[in-house]
Amino acid sequence: EDQVTQSPEALRLQEGESSSLNCSYTVSGLRGLFWYRQDPGKGPEFLFTLYSAGEEKEKERLKATLTKKESFLHITAPKPEDSATYLCAVHKHTGFQKLVFGTGTRLLVSP
Amino acid sequence: EAQVTQNPRYLITVTGKKLTVTCSQNMNHEYMSWYRQDPGLGLRQIYYSMNVEVTDKGDVPEGYKVSRKEKRNFPLILESPSPNQTSLYFCASSFGTNTEAFFGQGTRLTVV
């Protein structure tokens, strides 16, 4: 069965304290892995798409990497405004954008 | 501004009273989807549409209907809502089958 597991469920960091969020997946025929950010009361906002193992993408303090079994979202020197829930989703090979989402990691960055 | 607009944002209704949640996008996207988000379960796809008059079931379609008569609109219909449909609903659209999805602001539905 297709599954996406994110860890940890919640993470509390001090401002400037770097860390990584994990997204492990078991899905046949991966077409892409997506990272989204979701603020309370809002819809998910797109961050990155990774298509093949070894691929990396960066945006400001965020860097996403992909292996054959998992993806990491590295947060370097986070700021309080990085506090949000980070969602990982995988797109299967069959069917239109069959996205399977993880349950997310709630990140809180304290000043 | 490129956006996906859902209405209403909040809705409290009673069991069995038909309701429609509207969704509209202004990006000329062909692909649109509906998701529900529940604590501990994440986002689950209800229905999706690949183009006008082309729709198909997602993972949790029971109790829901959709229609796609125009490219920009994709309403979600609950013909006889039940309390287990209390949830946070999101509409999303995308340009291609494997491209980023743009999400609406969400509709928080409570069925009593």
SS (H, E, C) chain A: CCEEEEECCEEEEECCCCEEEEEEEECCCEEEEEEEEECCCCCCEEEEEECCCCCEEEECCEEEEECCCEEEEEECCCCHHHCEEEEEEEEECCCCCCEEECCCEEEEEEC
Whole-number pLDDT of residue A27: 81
Whole-number pLDDT of residue A88: 96
B13-58: per-residue pLDDT in tens? Answer: 999 999 999 999 999 999 999 999 999 898 999 999 989 989 999 8
CB neighbour list of residue A54: distance below 8 Å, 6 or more residues apart: A66, A67
Q: Which of residues 72-111 of A touch B (CB under 8 A)?
A: 87, 89, 91, 96-99, 101-104
Of B31, B45, B100, nearest to A34 by CB-CB distance is: B100
Is the minimum CB–CB distance between A40 and chain B shorter than 8 Å? no
A46-97: per-residue pLDDT in tens? Answer: 999 999 999 999 999 999 999 999 999 999 999 999 999 999 999 876 656 6
B47-88: per-residue pLDDT in tens? Answer: 999 899 899 998 899 999 999 999 999 999 999 999 999 999
Judge contact between A88 and A38, C-beta under 8 A.
no
Query: What Å distances lie between residue B64 and A21, A58, B68, B79, CA to CA?
Result: 34, 39, 14, 7
pLDDT at A23 over 70: yes
Q: How far apart are CA A74 and CA A90, in angstroms?
A: 18
Chain A partners within 8 Å of B42 (Cβ): 4, 87, 101-104
Q: How far apart are CA B10 and CA B110, in angstroms?
A: 8
pLDDT at B5 over 90: yes
- Token reading at A108: 């809180």
Shortest Cα distance, chain A CAs vs residue B33, angstroms: 9
Whole-number pLDDT of residue A47: 97
Whole-number pLDDT of residue A2: 79
What is chain B's mean pLDDT, rounded? 95
Whole-number pLDDT of residue A94: 62
Which chain A residue lies closest to B40 (C-alpha atoms)?
Answer: A103
A32-48: per-residue pLDDT in tens? Answer: 999 999 999 899 999 99
- Token reading at B65: 């209907």
To test the contact with chain A by mutation, choose from B21, B43, B87, B103 the residue with the greatest count of A C-beta atoms within 10 A, namely: B43
Whole-number pLDDT of residue A93: 65
Whole-number pLDDT of residue A3: 87
Q: Which of residues 17-36 of A touch B (CB under 8 A)?
A: 31-32, 34, 36
Shortest Cα distance, chain B CAs vs residue A16, angstroms: 29
